[in-house]
Structure 1
Amino acid sequence: MARVVVLATGGTIASAAGPDGGAVAQRTVGELIGTMGSSSSVEVEGRDVVNLGSYLMRHRDIRTIAEAVAEEIARADVDGVVVTHGTDTMEETGYLLDLLHDSAKPVVLTGAQRPADQPDTDGPRNLRDAIAVAAAPQARERGVLLAFGGRLFATARTRKFYTVAAEPFVTIGGGPIGRVAAGEVVLTAHPVRPAPLPPLGEGFDSTRVDVVVAYPDVDAALAEAAVAAGARGVILAALGSGNGNHALLDWVRRAAADGVAVGLSTRVPEGPVVPMYTNGGAVDLIAAGALNLRSLPPFHSRMLFAALLSSGKPVDEQAIAPYV
């Protein structure tokens, strides 16, 4: 019998109405496991790690989750791990876990769009599906996956695209890599993954990387404020295929000269950064020192930069090449 450990971290799947009527994360892993019924083919253990709405997650919480995953995966008697998590920042935690994951064993994130005390909550089904995936031999060697609404996604470029829809996740430039139906796990693609990063140290907790979004008439005030507040890296969610303006261009030159890691992404949901334009466009921004993040979304890029910077490695074209 396969053994799967469920690591509970809060989120909508663990939420129920509080005294003011608003949903708040409060249910334990035992309660979550108890809602989905027993399985004759999988032995399930549970462990509470944190219990937060994922909009409250800090770097320290995410590192705690990563350490718990690594600890359970290292057990010889464990075949896979499930992490229950809020959907608001599941894309960040999932991507970071995939950057660190160095085992063939499956790690699967899941959650819910409707709180646990609603009659049509989707949490129990998603949890059953995630456990089935974590126990499935065919899910090995595929890194960290996301199971939601009967679909399986690789975490590398998967984002939350819909606020409250039952199936909120979309993979940029691709689609689901599998499905789960009536407990049957079907994988249709194999993610290409770079070599794992080393485990995070305590420095990750305080490594600040900010995202600055471009828009008409934007200046460098927010980027300058980010650096003044201690940001060691800034991700530009630029316009179109990676374009800014002269104010951002001047700032990139200064920031790069001062050793700030500047990443060039785009605010557009689909498509890569492509240096086509000068006069403050992507051609100039890259020449000034911004690193081309290609198709890596801004908030995934932020986690990559934080992990690299906290490890003490230089963040340059060579360092980011395997991930973009």
Structure 2
Amino acid sequence: MPSAETSILVLATGGTIAGQAGSATRRDYRPGQINIADFLVEFDTLGVNARLEGKQVAAIDSANIGPEIWRELHSACAAAMRDPACGGVIITHGTDTAEETAFLLDLTLPTTKPVVVVGAMRPADAVGSDGLRNFANAVKVAADMDAAGRGVLLVMSDHVFSARDVRKARTAGSNAFDGFPRGPIALATPSTLDWLSPPWRTNEAARFAFPETFPAVPILHAFAGMDASYVEHAVAKGAKGIVLAGMGEGNMPDMVREALAEAVCLGIPVVRATRVDEGLVDPEPSDEDEGFIAARALGPSKARVLLQVLVANGITDRASAQDAFDNR
């Protein structure tokens, strides 16, 4: 546990956890309506023993998050890592892109203190709202120094996931998040925390520098009848990398394969991921000839984040990029 003098920094970005519908039963709602100061006042009524300091970074639907907010989050987290008065960081976040933010920070922050992303599936004024409980669970995790050495974590519905594994697998419901290839790495409630494995990244430095600029890396979704024009358009628009959400184990029509191989010849790294919900995309013998990178366990969204970070760090040769995907 952090000492009595340390606090937990709460960085708020909006999302459903800060959302309001104006009715306990209304389906639609407005995300990011509750300021973090007001949220923490409400949380204080639960009687959880924790010193929390809030900072409002944004108040948005997480579909609108991007490099500017990511940069502010990274800067605040990095400062917290250096601050002896800070024991850990919690980021309140919309669930639609929480996995991307968590993974980006996981790639670009050291593992010396807990960093926990948390959200909600129901707005604050809805029947059965899950925001305060999820947040209480996140406080329990962020206050536990055993949470360090595991990279960035995401807490939802009494489960703790690693940023590299977590994904939003369902559009609604308390079980919206899953992990692959691993499931939850801990079970959390406001009063209990049970780790299911020991830390595996103790005192690691950041794996990559945070990008000064984010290169253009589109995701192309493969489909029956797809032709080369989609690849050609991406190249013409200045793509610095391409992720294919392929069929099955990262497969694609022959003409798309030929166009992507030509893109590689132009110096544009190409990652084969899958549009399938779950499963590995392993390197194939033809990848070496065509220059493709296999996404392994990363889905298209997180494969895009990693490829952006690699390109921004000047890592574009296939062997080095494949190593990064193998050891994300």
TM-score by structure 2 length?
0.90
Aligned residue pairs total 316
Q: Which amino acid aligns with 2:62?
A: S
Change (3 A) 1:292 1:243: same
Residues 241-285 of structure 1, C-alpha deviations (whole Å, 9 max, x = no match): 22112111211221011001101111122221245xxxxxx5445
After TM superposition, the structure 1 = structure 2 runs for residues 202-221 of structure 1, keeping only pairs within 5 Å, are 202-204=212-214, 207-221=215-229
- In the alignment, which residue of structure 2 is the partner of 1:287? 289
* Counterpart residue number, 2:307: 305
1:300 and 1:33 map into 2 onto residues whose CA distance is: 31
The answer for the alignment partner of 1:279 in structure 2 is none
Q: 1:152 aligns with which of 156, 160, 170?
A: 160
Contact 2:29 2:123 in 1 (8 A): no
Q: Which residue in the other structure is 1:319 paired with? A: 321
CA distance in 2, matches of 1:284, 1:213: 21
Q: Is the 8 A contact 1:13 1:112 kept in 2?
A: yes
Aligned-pair CA distance for 1:103: 3.2
Match status 1:112 vs 2:123: no
- Pairing 1:143-292 to 2, within 5 Å after superposition: 143-190=151-198, 192=200, 196-204=206-214, 207-274=215-282, 283-292=285-294
Structure 1 Cα separation of the partners of residues 199 and 289 of structure 2 = 32
Partner of 1:203, secondary structure, is coil
Give the distance between the partners of 1:258 and 1:191, measured in 2 at CA.
41
Q: Deviations over 1:80-130 (max 9, x none)?
A: 100000000001001111111213210000011111222421111111110
Cα–Cα, structure 1 residues 283 and 320, in superposed 2: closer, same or farther, change >3 Å? closer
CA RMSD of aligned residues (A): 2.2
The secondary structure found in structure 1 opposite 2:31 is: strand
Unaligned runs of 5+ in 2: none
Q: For the Cα contact (< 8 Å) 1:172–1:269, is it kept in 2?
A: no
The 8 Å contact of residues 136 and 189 in structure 2, kept in 1 or not, is answered as no
2:54 equivalent in structure 1: 46
In structure 2, do the counterparts of structure 1 residues 190 and 297 end up closer, same or farther at CA, with 3 Å as the change threshold?
farther
Letter in 2 for 1:13: I
Structure having the larger proportion of residues in strand: 1
**Deviation >4 Å, runs of 4+:** 191-195
Q: Deviations over 1:207-237 (max 9, x none)?
A: 1111111121111222222222221010011
- Per-residue deviation, 1:286: 4.8
Query: Which segment drifts farther, 37-46 or 157-166?
Result: 37-46
Q: Percent identity between the aligned chains? A: 34
Which segments of 5 or more consecutive residues in structure 1 lack a partner in the other structure? 276-281
8 A Cα contact 1:208 1:306, kept in partner: yes
Distance 1:43 1:269 in 2: 39
Moved more, 129-138 or 29-38: 29-38
| SS of alignment partner, residue 153 of structure 1 | strand
Alignment-derived partner of residue 3 in structure 1: 7
Paired with 1:143 and 1:272, the residues of 2 have a C-alpha distance of: 21
Deviation of 1:202 after TM superposition, in Å, equals 2.9
